Structure 1
Amino acid sequence: MHLTDINVLIAILSGVIGIYAGYKKALSEAKGDGENEAKIIIMLENLTESYKKMDVKLDASIDDRHQIREAIGVHETQIKALLGEVKDIKENCKECRKKCD
């Protein structure tokens, strides 16, 4: 073998080793990127699930508020009716007392 043959062989071996090292580095970086992307995807899925749960709770809260408003309206009507009846009773008592005196 001549010196140039040895240089060519060393160059080929160095190139193969360099390509292999680059491949391993790219593979490990891809693995790291994949792990990061997987974490991001899982976080997004969790956020989506949480959003859906909050949306359901918000809808339930809106329904509950509506029912409370309706109940308050009914109670206000009943209170007004009772106050009217109390007023009528007081007037009747005044009339009765006038008759008794």
Structure 2
Amino acid sequence: MKFVILACIAAVAFAAPQYSSSEEVEFVPILRDDRVHEEDGTYSLDFEAGNGIRVSQSGSPDGDKDAVIMAGEYSYTAPDGTLIVVKYVADGSTAYY
């Protein structure tokens, strides 16, 4: 029985992800994370990370059958340095990108 338990522990240890000390992991700080969610379902969110990713969105359950109507945008910097900005509106009948 002890051998079976020891074998299981060894199998789990060997199956665990192995990380090399040569791999660098980039730490990206969160600069802003503001979220508001009202009791009536209205919400807003603003997020910004240190690597330039930004998200801003707001919405409310004003659509048919309390579907959430929302609008917002997000942006990031592409690998070639181009700033990408995507704006959207979802109001239950149309969606714009």
| TM-score by shorter chain over 0.5 | no
Greater strand fraction, Structure 1 or Structure 2:
2
TM-score (norm 2): 0.22
Greater helix fraction, Structure 1 or Structure 2:
1
